[in-house]
Amino acid sequence: MSTVYEINAKIFKAFCDENRLRIIELLQGGEKCACTLQEKLPIGQSTLSHHMKILIESGVVEVRKDKKWSYYSLSDKGSIAATEKLSMLLTKNYSDQTECVCESEA
Amino acid sequence: MSTVYEINAKIFKAFCDENRLRIIELLQGGEKCACTLQEKLPIGQSTLSHHMKILIESGVVEVRKDKKWSYYSLSDKGSIAATEKLSMLLTKNYSDQTECVCESEA
DNA sequence: ATTACATATTGAAAAAAATCGATTTGATTG
DNA sequence: CAATCAAATCGATTTTTTTCAATATGTAAT
């Protein structure tokens, strides 16, 4: 079983590794194959593959396979979803106006 | 020395832990003191303190100290900054239209 | 079918992060 | 100024994540 917190934390994990941020930045310029990403990053092949998996599972990156190669690109849908999710998370809603218990002890 | 990738990864790390997401959600309803957060979370005092430090350093949470207590709240400025940063990161800009090298080998 | 190459998976090691209990700091009260 | 209480820091442990080398898988070319 997964809580909504676990699910969302997993999505945001896409953005909390230095190398994944580099990858995303490279994808801003359009679709890139693994070998192009590889040569611009200071990591091994299996590590890149691991990061791509995390990015794809978070929904912000899509993969297209053609012949021997994998082409990665930013997903509009996933990108919007992640941004909206963060925006919602950080939006105040005042549904819970609970006062601090410690106030009364002051 | 810190790269922009390290700096941004640190900011987004605020959102990739389950308990920090819970804390942020609690703060949506307005300012909360540490003791209120404490009683709603399945973590110890020192762990909460650790998470609050990370949230504050990422800029999305502010702290106000009064008497013995610390009151935490979402920072409008920091929230907007983080959301904008993510939005920018996921926006295509096509400044780099590099073709894949492997294309030519096909 | 064998070879070659791109990517994924596996298993292990290293690094980073989360957690806790104990202690310290800092402010408040008696 | 001693006692109290909230929050921060410290030190150690556990858990998670990152990384790599080796191997497996899947596709294409000979």
Question: Would you call A100 and B67 a contact, using CB atoms and an 8 Å cutoff?
Answer: no
- CB atoms near residue A81 (< 10 Å): 16
| Chain segment A26-85, per-residue pLDDT in tens | 999 999 999 999 999 999 999 999 999 999 999 999 999 999 999 999 999 999 999 999
pTM: 0.94
Question: Would you call B8 and A29 a contact, using CB atoms and an 8 Å cutoff?
Answer: no
Distance A41 CA to C13 C1' (A): 22
Distance A15 CA to C14 C1' (A): 22
Q: In what order do the strands lie in the sheet with A61-66?
A: A32-33, A69-74, A61-66
A24 neighbors A55 (Cβ within 8 angstroms): yes
Distance B68 CA to C28 C1' (A): 7
The one-digit pLDDT tens for each residue of chain B (106 residues) are 689 999 999 999 999 999 999 999 999 999 999 999 999 999 999 999 999 999 999 999 999 999 999 999 999 999 999 999 999 999 999 877 776 766 655 4
Burial of A65 (0-12, 13-18, 19+ CB in 10 A): exposed
Footprint of strand C on the protein (CB under 7 A): A 33-35, 38, 45-46, 49-50, 52-53, 63, 68-70, 106; B 13, 16-20, 42-47, 50-51, 54, 67-68, 102, 105
Q: How far is A98 from chain B, CA to nearest CA, in Å?
A: 8
Burial of B106 (0-12, 13-18, 19+ CB in 10 A): exposed
